[in-house]
Structure 1
Amino acid sequence: MKSASRHAYGCPLAASRLWYGPGVVNNRGMSDRQTAVASLKPKPRAASRRRSRAGKWRRGWVIAALAVLSAFPLLFHRYVPNSIGNLGSLLETFLPWVGVAIPILGGAALVRRSATAGVALLIPALVWGLMFGHLLIPNRGGGGPSDLRVLSHNVDAANPDPVKTAQELLAADADVVALEEITTADLKIYKAQFAKAYPHVVSRGTVALWSKYPVEESKSVDVGFSWTRALRAEVSTPQGKVAFYVAHLASVRIGTSGFTSNQRNDTIKQLGEQIAAEKLAGVVVMGDFNGTANDRSLAPITSGLRSAQGAAGTGFGFTWPAKFPMARIDHILVRGVVPTKAWVMSPTGSDHRPVVAELRI
C-alpha cells in the first residue's frame, strides 16, 4: 500500500488523474478529448484569411459590370447612329477619353479590394490598348532623313497678339506654313512678319500659305461657302512638285440638339472629291477640319491619306482647346510622301495649337 501510494503520488500524471478523475489532463487544464476536439477546429487567422480571399471575389460586382460596359463604346462606336444628334461623331471625336473610366474604376476596385472587378477591368484596358496603345510608342514608323518641314495653324480671328504668334511660328523654321482663320487686318501683320523668311505667299479668303520655295500655281477651292476657306497651291520643292491643300472646314456645335455638324460634313464631301482627283503624286493636306481622324464623317478626306501624327508622331497630338487640348482637330495629311516626324507646338495665343511635320518626298 505504501509503495502504491508513493508511486501514485510521486507521479504528477497519476496525481492529476486522481484529482481530476478519468481522462488525461494536459498542462493547460484540458483533457485529451478536449485537446483532440480543439485541434480539429480551424485556427482563427487561417479562417480569416480564407474568408478574406473568398470575399475578394464576392465584392465589387457593380464595379465589374461597369468595367465591362465601359468597353462597349470602344468596341461598338461605329454602331452609334448619327441620325440622332450626330451622337456617333460626337463619341468618335472624344473616343480616347473613354479610357479615363479605367483608372477611375480601378481605384474603386482597390478601395473595395475586389478581385472580380480587377479581372473585369482587363477587358476595357485590353480593348483601349489595342485601339490606341500604338499612339504612345515614340517615333512610331518615323525617322530617317526628311526633305520638307511643314506647319499648319488656326491662328484664331480673336487672337490678341498676332505679332507674337507670328514670331513663335517663325521659330519653328518650317519650309511651308499654312494658316487658317486669318482676318484681313491680321493677314497684313503675318505678311510683314514672314516677308524675309517666306518670299512666296498665297492667300484666299481666310486661309493662306507661305513657302520658302516657288509656288507655281494656286487657286481657291470651293467647299460650299459664300467666302473662300480652302486653297490649292503647287509648291516646287528641290525634290519635285507637291500639291498643298489648306482648308478650314465649317465649325461644329454641341448643344441641346446634339452635335451639329451637317454644314461641316457638306464641306468635307466637296473637299474630299477634289483631293481624290488630284493628279500630282505628292499631296499634303493641312488645316483645321473641326473633326478627329476617328470621326467617320471625315472619311471622304482621310480615305487614301495618311496622318503625319499617326504615322510619325508621339502621343495623341491633341490641338484643341489650346489650354487643355482634348481633341486633334488640326491635321497634316499626306499622300505620296513619307512622314518622318510630327509634333504639336506649345500655345501661341490662339485657341488652337500649331501642328508640325517633317516629310520625305
Structure 2
Amino acid sequence: MLTTEEEPSTGADAPTPTPAPIKAAPRPTPTPPQRAPGRLLALVALLSAALMALHAHLPNTALNLGSLFQTLLPWTGLAVPALLALAAVRRSRLAAIAVLAPALVWATLFGPTLTDKGKDRGKGTGATGHSLTVLSHNVDEANPDPAGTARALAGAKADVLALVELSEESTPVYERELAAAYPHHAVLGGVGLWSRHRLTAVAEVEIMPWTRAMRATAATPEGPVAVYAAHLASVRVSGAGFTTARRNEAARALASAVRAEPAPRVVVLGDFNGTYRDRALAPVTSQLRSAQREAGDGFGFTYPAGFPVVRIDDVLVKGMDPRASWTLPATGSDHRPVGATLRF
C-alpha cells in the first residue's frame, strides 16, 4: 500500500506581512531673513522727533553738543527719508507711522523757512522808498582775489557794507575798489564799514583782546542808524567737542554793547560763527530780529561758500522792518555775502 507523504509547506501561499511605512524626516523650515524689528525703528523715529522738539533744552555740559546740534538742526530732517526707507525695506507699518513724528516736528520748525517771506524783492538802493539796503561779508584773509570780491560787492548796490576778516594787505584793495561807490568808510583792525551816507561816532566795540567789532552811526536821509560790524571768535569741532568758549564770551560782550546802544534803530552785521538758533548766541539774538527769518527765502546758508550747510553770517536788526533778505553768489571768500532791505 502506497502512502504519500505531505511535503512540508514552504509558506508560499501564506500572507506576507506588510512592513510599516517609514516616516520621512521632516524638512527644516527655511529661516526667513533676519530683519531689524519695526519697534526699534519706531523708537529711533520717536527719539529723533524728541531731539528736534527739545533742541533748546539739550545740555551743553558734554562737549557743547547742544550748540552743535542746534547749529546743524536743519539737517536733522534727513532722518525722515532715511527712516522711511528702512521702514519700507523691513515692511514695518509701525515704523512708517512713527516716522510721521519727526516729519511733523521738522515741518513745524522749518516749514515757514522754506517759503518766500520777502515783502520787497527789489535789491539795491532805492528798491523801496524810505529803506536801507545793507550787505555783510566775511571776505576771508586768504581771499586770492580781493579786487574781484570788492567789485562784486559794489555791484550789489547796497547802501552800507560791513566787511570782516580784512587784512593789512587786502584793506587798501577794498578801499581803492569801493571808493567810487562808497565815499564814506572806516576800518578798525580786521573789520570795516563802507557807506553811501556819512559815518559818525566810529568806535571799536571790545569783544575780544584784538579788534573784531566796531560801530558807527550812518546819517541816512530818514535819520541816524547805528551800524555794527562784528566778527565773533571761531569755533572748532575736535576731540574736545564743539569748542565755543571764546565765541560765547565775545557774544556776551557784543550783547552788552547792543543793550547799551541809545539809538532806536540798530543794525548788526557780520560773521557770528553760530546760527540764530544756537542758544549760546541768545544774549545777542534775543535783542534783535533776523532779517533772513522774517523776510528771507529758504535757509540762506553761507558757509562754506562752495557748498553752504550753515548760516553763520547774518543781518540782525532792531527798530527797522526787514523787507527782503538774500544770499549773494560766492566770491573768492570761503563765506557767501548776505544782504537785506530794511524799511524805516
Q: TM-score scaled by structure 1?
A: 0.81
Quote how far apart the aligned CAs of 1:76 are. 1.9
Letter in 2 for 1:169: L
> For residue 316 of structure 2, what is the aligned residue in structure 1?
333
> For residue 38 of structure 1, what is the aligned residue in structure 2?
none
Q: Distance in 1 between matches of 2:164 and 2:279?
A: 23
Letter in 2 for 1:323: G
What is the correspondence of 1:78-227 to structure 2 with a 5 Å cutoff?
78-139=56-117, 145=128, 147-225=131-209, 227=210
> For residue 247 of structure 2, what is the aligned residue in structure 1?
264
CA contact (8 A) 1:142 1:313 kept: no
Letter in 1 for 2:193: L
Structure 1 residue runs without a partner (length 5+): 1-57
Q: How many residues align?
A: 303
Q: Distance in 1 between matches of 2:37 and 2:94?
A: 7
CA contact (8 A) 1:93 1:292 kept: yes
| 2:43 pairs with one of 65, 79, 103 | 65
Counterparts in 2 of 1:62 and 1:83: CA distance versus 1, 3 Å: closer
What is the correspondence of 1:215-254 to structure 2 with a 5 Å cutoff?
215-225=199-209, 227-254=210-237
Q: Deviations over 1:293-318 (max 9, x none)?
A: 11111011111210000000011111
Letter in 2 for 1:311: E
Quote how far apart the aligned CAs of 1:94 are. 0.7
| 2:297 pairs with one of 300, 314, 325 | 314
Q: Deviations over 1:222-279 (max 9, x none)?
A: 1132x21100000011110000010001011110000111011111111100101111
> For residue 43 of structure 1, what is the aligned residue in structure 2?
none
Q: Distance in 2 between matches of 1:189 and 1:143?
A: 31
Counterparts in 2 of 1:140 and 1:357: CA distance versus 1, 3 Å: closer
SS in 1 for 2:169: helix
Q: Distance in 1 between matches of 2:119 and 2:50?
A: 29
Quote how far apart the aligned CAs of 1:114 are. 2.8
CA contact (8 A) 2:301 2:311 kept: yes
Letter in 2 for 1:315: G
CA contact (8 A) 1:154 1:288 kept: yes
Q: CA RMSD in A?
A: 1.6
Q: Deviations over 1:100-124 (max 9, x none)?
A: 1001111222333332222111111
What is the correspondence of 1:5-44 to structure 2 with a 5 Å cutoff?
none
Q: Distance in 1 between matches of 2:154 and 2:132?
A: 15
SS in 1 for 2:51: helix
Moved more, 316-325 or 102-111: 102-111
Q: Deviations over 1:5-58 (max 9, x none)?
A: xxxxxxxxxxxxxxxxxxxxxxxxxxxxxxxxxxxxxxxxxxxxxxxxxxxxx9
Q: TM-score scaled by structure 2?
A: 0.85
> Which structure carries more helix by proportion?
1
CA contact (8 A) 2:118 2:323 kept: no
Quote how far apart the aligned CAs of 1:142 are. 6.4
Q: Distance in 2 between matches of 1:216 and 1:307?
A: 25
Counterparts in 2 of 1:289 and 1:261: CA distance versus 1, 3 Å: same
Q: Deviations over 1:69-89 (max 9, x none)?
A: 211211222332212211111
SS in 2 for 1:185: coil
Counterparts in 2 of 1:142 and 1:73: CA distance versus 1, 3 Å: farther
SS in 1 for 2:56: helix
CA contact (8 A) 1:63 1:105 kept: yes
> For residue 15 of structure 1, what is the aligned residue in structure 2?
none
Letter in 2 for 1:352: H
Structure 2 residue runs without a partner (length 5+): 1-35, 123-127
Counterparts in 2 of 1:68 and 1:152: CA distance versus 1, 3 Å: same
Q: Distance in 1 between matches of 2:59 and 2:45?
A: 23
Counterparts in 2 of 1:269 and 1:138: CA distance versus 1, 3 Å: same
